[in-house]
Amino acid sequence: MQSLAGKVAVITGAASGIGRALAHQLAGMGCHLALADIDAEGLEATASPLRRESLQLSTHTLDVSNREAVHAFADSVLARHGRTDLVINNAGVAVSQTIAELRYDDFEWLMGINFWGVVHGTKAFLPHLLDQGEGHIVNVSSIFGIVSMPTQGAYNASKFAVRGFTEALRQELCGTAIKVSCVHPGGIRTNIARSARFYRGIDGKTDAAKAAIHFDKLARTSAQQAAQAIIKGVQAGQPRIMVGADARFLDHLQRLLPASYPRLLGKFLNKK
């Protein structure tokens, strides 16, 4: 899929961050868009500057954790656009809490969006892609789907699950014209830290605002840069798309020291 002009791209989590940046960059490349998010106001803010006669654009207020809603969304997209070429399951949320104190309802909320949202989006559009005989599914995991971090047990669980699910799907579709990519962003300057359910940091404190500021200092990659890397990965047919120098570093660290990297990261984090 080197040329995206005239293709139809589906993006969840399109109201902000990487999803919004993907929408704007793909539109600039002549790609038609079906944009979804639970945040209707943010979704309109993404879509409004993109509306023009030459671009087929639809917006869909959607809770990706709702299976029936996602399948209805897929039907709506196909009715509106006639086809789907690129499905980017991007919607995600975060919870920061130790596993000992993590509430079940927070865990279930996060898994419903981060993991089941990916499963729902994949399952809803895959039959069409199989009938069509071609397409590309992009599931957004995280560098936290490769390395684990304290107070991120729920987030790690969801992103490791996305990685395993996506890699299995890729193997099942081997030999077809349907490509599958798993995206592993490092620290990206988006609103995910500010919208997280934040309870406890690694220092035992619970100041969400300070945690978001700290995250912004560590996050070196902008949403626009992340979107650019994802699109390049799609065009190149990359099965694993690493986003950011920090993601690439941590990926190499995990490969080199799979058993001892947690201790090294623990020392680094305790210095902060």
pLDDT digits (tens, 9 = 90+) for 95-140: 999 999 999 999 999 999 999 999 999 999 999 999 999 999 999 9
Q: How far is CA 177 from CA 5, 171, 237, in A?
A: 18, 12, 11
What pLDDT shows up at residue 208? 45
What pLDDT shows up at residue 262? 81
Domain boundaries, given as residue ranges, for the chain = 8-265
Asked if 199 is an active-site residue, the reply is no
Q: In this prediction, what percent of the chain has a pLDDT beyond 70? A: 86
Instruction: Evaluate whether the domain defined by 8-265 bears CATH number 3.40.50.720.
Output: yes
What pLDDT shows up at residue 220? 73
What pLDDT shows up at residue 231? 97
Report the chain (272 residues): mean pLDDT per 10 consecutive residues.
Answer: 90 96 97 97 97 92 98 98 97 94 96 98 98 97 93 95 98 97 84 51 46 48 93 96 91 88 71 53
Residue 55 tokens read as 């671009």
Out of 104, 155, 199, 261, the active site residue is 155
Cβ atoms 240, 182 nearer than 8 A? yes
Summarize the chain as % helix, strand, coil (round to 5): 50, 20, 30
What pLDDT shows up at residue 213? 39
Give pTM, 2 decimals.
Answer: 0.88
